[in-house]
Each structure stands twice: as C-alpha cells, then as structure tokens.
Amino acid sequence: MSTAPTTPPAIGVEEERAAGDVLRVEGLRKRYRSDGPEAVAGVDFAVHAAEVFGLLGPNGAGKTTTIGVITTRVRPTAGRVLVDGIDVVRDPVAVKPRIAVVPQRSNLDRTLNALENLTFHAAYFGTGRRERRARALELMERFGLAGREKDKVNNYSGGMAQRLMLARALMHRPRLLVLDEPTTGLDPQSRLFLWGAIEDLRSRGTTVLLTTHDMLEADRLCDRIAIMDRGRIIALDTPRGLRRLLPAEHGLEVVVEASEDPSAAFAGLEGGERVTAGPGREGRWPVRLYGEEGELAAAALLGQVVPAIPTTHPDYLPIADRELNALLRSGNLAAATSRLRAMLQVTRTRAEADPGNASAQRDLSISYNRLGDLAVAAGDSEQAGRYHRDALAIAKRLAEADPGNAAAQRDLRSTYERLESLTDVRSGTSESSPTPPGRGTATADTSDQGQDKGSSL
C-alpha cells in the first residue's frame, strides 16, 4: 500500500519566482514499496537561474528517481518540487513546457529524419510552422549537424544522435534543461563537443541540471555539485569547495613545455607538500603541485620556479616567459624588468655564439624592444631609447640581409615606430627620429621567437 504524498502549504508562484531559483527541491522522499527502502530519503536543493547544477553519485544513489519527480514521471512519497515556482505534483501540465529532458539513451523517432524530429517536437508545444523550421535549422547548425537535416537518425553516430536530442530539447526554449548522464558511451571527440555545447548553453543563460557519475565531467561543467549516496545528499558545494574537503589533496596543476621531466624545478616551493608530473606528451608535461593553492600559485608563477632552472637549459626561455607574463599581469614592473634582463642575457649569449642564426638575432632584437617598452612604462625614456636603438641595429641587419622576409621588415618598421613615439614624447616632434623604410601600423611579429608571443607589450 503506497503512502499518499504530503506537501507543505502552497506558496504563491510569484513569491517562488522572486527567489531567483528555477528549481527547488524540498524534503523530497520516494519509497516505491511501503515495506521497501527509500530510494530518495529527504533531499533538499535549489538550482539558480543560468546555473549548471550537477547531481553526482554512483548507480543507485537516487539520481534517476529525483529526476523522475522533477520531470513529473514519478510521484513523490513526500516533499515538494517546484519548477519556475510551479508545483510538479499539483500542476504537471503547466510544468511540462518549462522543462526538457535529454535521456541517457536515444529516444529519437527513427521513422523520421533529423529535421522532422525537431519540428514535430516543437509542434507539440504549439510553435508555428515557420518558426519551428527556422529554430530547427538554427539549432542543427549550432550543434554541428548542418547539411544532415534530411538524414534518417539511423544513419547518425552516437555522438550525433546525442547532439540531435539536445537540439530537440531546446526547440521549445525550456526554463530548465535536464541532462541525464549525457556523455555515457560517447567517444572522446563527441564527449568534448557535448561539453562545449553545455558550456555554451550556460553562457546563453540556460539553466541546466546534469546527472553524472563522472567526477571530471562534473568538475569541468558544473557551477555547483550535489553528491548523492543512498538517497541522500551528503555534500553540496562548488567544485573548488568540494575539493577542499579532501585533506592534503588540494593544489594546482600546470602544464610545462619541457624536453624532460620538470619536477625538479618545482621542488621546495613555498606552501608545497609534494609534486607529481607526467607522463609528458609532445614536450608538454602536466605537473600537479599539492598544497595551499594560493601560496603555490604565487610561488610557481612569481619567481620561485624559474631561478631553479639553469639559464643553459634549452627550455629556460619559454618557462621564463610564462613567469614574465604572470609578473606583467600582476603589475610588478620591477620584477618583470629583472626577469627580462636575465632573459636578455640568454638571448644575447645565444646570438653571439651563432651570429649567422637569424632566429637567435631576432630573439635578441625583440628582447631589446620589450625591455624598451618596460622602460617606457616605468617612465625612463632615456633607457627606453637605448634599448630600442640596440634593437634597431639588429633589425636593420636582418631586414637588409633578407629583403623578402616580411617578418624582418615588420620588425624593422615596428622598431622605427617605437623610436618615433619616444621622440614625440620627449620633444613633441619626430623630426630627429630615424626615417622608417615604409609607413604602417604593424607591430613586432614574435610568432617565430622562442619566447611566448603573448608576452609582447
């Protein structure tokens, strides 16, 4: 004998909507048999507008039953669920247009083609013919299915079918989109595409409830995560907040471009407890630093890693350049100048060791220009002029040696323009500055440099 549902006194729809929650679950319980265990044993949570909320847990945790109640398929034993302020038990008809579900297994109509699957779905919700066709074509293009509108869904791969179900769910513009383990069984490429689609939905303001047993997926996609086990929520927080619950296992991960294991460079970091790395692929090594995250970030990015790497190391420049980026973002011009001077010594040594190496000479010219830019930012136009003139001498040699090299010509023009700008600041005229070989607005092209091109000032 089943127990009749009990619900708290009703609250007005407007009051619920004013709270800003698209979904509210309060005291939810479900027992399928009077003498059986509770599948859901008192669950409470709310999903905010434009949020991706994750229900994470093993099979049998109660996720599917919870979703069944939210989507009006399962009648609760006790508690209440409100979607957009409407009780799912008292008015399921009003709830249905406000929700959409993408199930774990495909339930597409295989007698219809892809476009018809979408337009028929929209027709159920009263959307006009012209509007639903335009909406279907728009969604198919957004999800990478353009050109396959007339295909039967039997000819779709698993990943394509999942994308089509997602497009179908969005046809009537629901307030709440429920994704039930949407990436189960998908290949890595399809999985990444779907992750990107979910992130795009969040950026467009769609509210998403995602069930999964994949911790990586929940961490990547969700703003908040509720962990369920045996019908109860045992933890609810942001991904970062949940990670803090794991003792001695919080920290950060960096990817280092290196020819060999770079773990030694991170040994002894302030705030660090231990370091693991690898395996490296194509010269990129994931390095996991365990400890206090804030202290590790400051240590790793603002000065403790690079000094541990000898300047003769082949990966010194790219690693140092990443640290330079962090210093520039923090506004620490003095430390950035010090780091860039050390990098200049390395580029100068390499250029002097191989005068015929145009790439090494160009790296040196760019280093001088970057130091000049920093000097300008610090208000030292005299020093900036010296650095830019050193860069100009090298840029001229490279441009004259290879007149057809577009990058060398751009570097030369860019250096002339830097000197012109300095002359404008110091004397109000550019008459005494060198005459550039051609007018243009191009800046130094650092894409071929051994350093990170994103650091150019």
Query: Tokens 């949570």 belong to which residue?
Result: 45
Indicate the length of the chain as a whole number.
457
Q: Are 48 and 209 in contact (CB under 8 A)?
A: no
Q: Are 177 and 102 in contact (CB under 8 A)?
A: yes
Say which CATH class 13-243 falls into: alpha beta
Ramachandran sector of residue 147 (left: φ over 0; alpha: ψ -120 to 50; beta: rest): left
pLDDT at 309: 53
| Each residue's pLDDT expressed in tens, for the chain with a length of 457 residues | 444 444 333 334 434 443 479 999 999 999 999 999 999 999 999 999 999 999 998 888 999 999 999 999 999 999 999 999 999 999 999 999 999 999 988 999 999 999 999 999 999 999 999 999 999 999 999 999 999 999 999 999 988 999 999 999 999 999 999 999 898 888 878 888 888 899 889 888 899 999 988 888 888 899 999 999 999 999 999 988 887 776 545 566 667 667 777 777 666 555 556 777 766 666 677 777 666 544 444 444 444 444 445 566 666 677 677 767 766 766 777 777 887 888 888 888 888 888 888 888 888 988 898 888 888 888 888 888 899 899 999 999 998 988 888 888 888 888 888 888 776 544 444 444 455 554 443 333 333 333 333 333 3
Q: Are 246 and 288 in contact (CB under 8 A)?
A: no
Tell how strand 232-237 and strand 224-229 pair up.
antiparallel
CA distances from 338 to 205, 341, 369 (A): 45, 5, 15
Q: Are 288 and 276 in contact (CB under 8 A)?
A: yes
pLDDT at 191: 85
CA distances from 91 to 11, 42, 75, 95 (A): 13, 22, 12, 7
Q: Provide the sign of the torsion angle of the four alpha carbons 105, 108, 113, 114, taken in this order.
A: negative
Q: Is the peptide bond before 279 cis (omega within 30 degrees of 0)?
A: yes
pLDDT at 11: 39
CA distances from 97 to 84, 164, 257, 409, 410 (A): 11, 19, 50, 62, 58
Domain chopping of the chain, boundaries: 13-243, 247-314, 332-448
CA distances from 453 to 164, 234, 412 (A): 40, 46, 17
CA distances from 191 to 3, 182, 248, 288 (A): 41, 9, 31, 24
Q: How far apart are the first and last CA of the chain?
A: 74
Q: What are phi and psi of 424, to 5 degrees?
A: -60, -45
Ramachandran sector of residue 205 (left: φ over 0; alpha: ψ -120 to 50; beta: rest): left
Give the residue from 255, 314, 322 showing the smallest Cα distance to 289.
255
pLDDT at 424: 56
pLDDT at 4: 44
SS (H, E, C) the chain: CCCCCECCCCCCHHHHHHCCEEEEEEEEEEECCCCCCEEEEEEEEEEECCCEEEEECCCCCCHHHHHHHHCCCCCCCEEEEEECCEECCCCHHHHHHHEEEECCCCCCCCCCEHHHHHHHHHHHCCCCHHHHHHHHHHHHHHCCCCCCCCCEHHHCCHHHHHHHHHHHHCCCCCCEEEEECCCCCCCHHHHHHHHHHHHHHHHCCCEEEEEECCHHHHHHHCCEEEEEECCEEEEEECHHHHHHCCCCCCEEEEEEECCCCCHHHHCCCCCEEEEEECCCECCEEEEEEEECHHHHHHHHHCCCCHHHCCCCCCCHHHHHHHHHHHHHHHCCHHHHHHHHHHHHHHHHHHHHHCCCCHHHHHHHHHHHHHHHHHHHHCCCHHHHHHHHHHHHHHHHHHHHHCCCCHHHHHHHHHHHHHHHHHHHHHHCCCCCCCCCCCCCCCCCCCCCCCCCHHHCC
